[in-house]
Amino acid sequence: MYQLPNAAREFGDNDVIAKPKFTASKKTIIKNDIIVFLHEKVRILEDDLDSMYEAFLQESRTHRQALEDAWDNNPRLFAAYSSIPTTIKTVEVRKFKTNIARMYKVRIGKCEKHWIANYFIHSVYNSIKEKKEDNRSSTGASTLLGNMGLSRQNSQATLRHQESSSSMTSLVMDNTDTVTEEQSPSLPPTSYISSIPTPTPSSSYQQQMPPLQLQPQPTFSISFMSPPNPTSPPPQQITRVRKRLASPSSSSQPPCNPHPRNNNQ
């Protein structure tokens, strides 16, 4: 436990520690006001002033968790130090005064409007507010960076998709060309066909070739036999009649002289 120097002043029950006067350039309690109070009112040794101030500051940090929990339960009530509900602020101020008086024998409870206790509790509020603002800024920056990264990934994915689609289209076109060439290998390009002149027989070629002679083709005739007449004689009788008619004995002409020389005699 801290021991006050022998020359230190102990405040009585009727003593009141006045609040520092504000000016146009100074509108709030600052660290120097606490140092002046400790040095002039309490009569702390000059070598111990900074360490005593740090001891008060360390004690105030023990109230941080209570303020932070109340802040998280109702953030709207902690928009400013003056908007903190009186019940919460009064509890923390009273605890701080009690602990300082018990550990360092300095009765800051005699300060007008609790200006020393309010200064240290207010410093805890400012540290919590600064941390929350930093977290909010970090979260916003992380979200922005995440969105930028996601947008970049989407752009890269879209580019890769487009490249893949282009590659697939080129591959399909190549395959189509290959299949077309394989299915019709004998068809040259149109320009190649149009560039080939139509072969025409030359005069020398016509002279070398002998004239074509048409060979007579045999002709065939088909005759149909009429059906036999039942009243006509049989074919054998017709044949015999024809033979008799063709023989010399049946001819009406006189017979020739086989010996013409006898007739001349």
- pLDDT given at position 210: 57
Tens of pLDDT along 7-33? Answer: 777 787 788 999 998 988 888 999 999
Determine the average pLDDT of the residues in 95-107.
93
249 falls within a domain: no
- pLDDT given at position 251: 47
Tens of pLDDT along 218-236? Answer: 555 555 455 555 555 555 5
39 falls within a domain: yes
Least confident of 116-120, 130-134, 261-265: 261-265
DSSP state of 252: S
Model confidence at 194, pLDDT cuts 50, 70, 90, reads very low
237 falls within a domain: no
241 falls within a domain: no
Tens of pLDDT along 36-87? Answer: 999 999 999 999 999 999 999 999 999 999 999 999 999 998 999 999 999 9
* 211 Cβ contact partners less than 8 Å away, ≥ 6 residues apart: none
The region, left, alpha or beta by phi > 0 then psi within -120 to 50, assigned to residue 9 is: beta
> 208-223 b/e with 16+ CB inside 10 Å = b?
eeeeeeeeeeeeeeee
- Cα R_g (the chain), whole angstroms: 70
Least confident of 109-118, 188-197, 208-217: 188-197
Tens of pLDDT along 40-53? Answer: 999 999 999 999 99
- Which amino acid would we find at residue 162? Q
Greater pLDDT, 132 or 141? 132
219 falls within a domain: no
70 falls within a domain: yes
Report residue 17: phi and psi, to 5°: -90, 110
- Which amino acid would we find at residue 171? L
Domains in the chain, number:
1
- pLDDT given at position 127: 94
> DSSP assignment of 14-82, as one string?
T--BPPPPP-SS--S--HHHHHHIIIIIS---GGGHHHHHHHHHHHHGGGHHHHHHHHHH-GGGGSSGG
Residue 59, both tokens: 């004690």
50 alpha-carbon distance from chain centroid:
61
162 falls within a domain: no
89 falls within a domain: yes
Could you tell me the residue range of the domain that residue 90 belongs to?
31-144
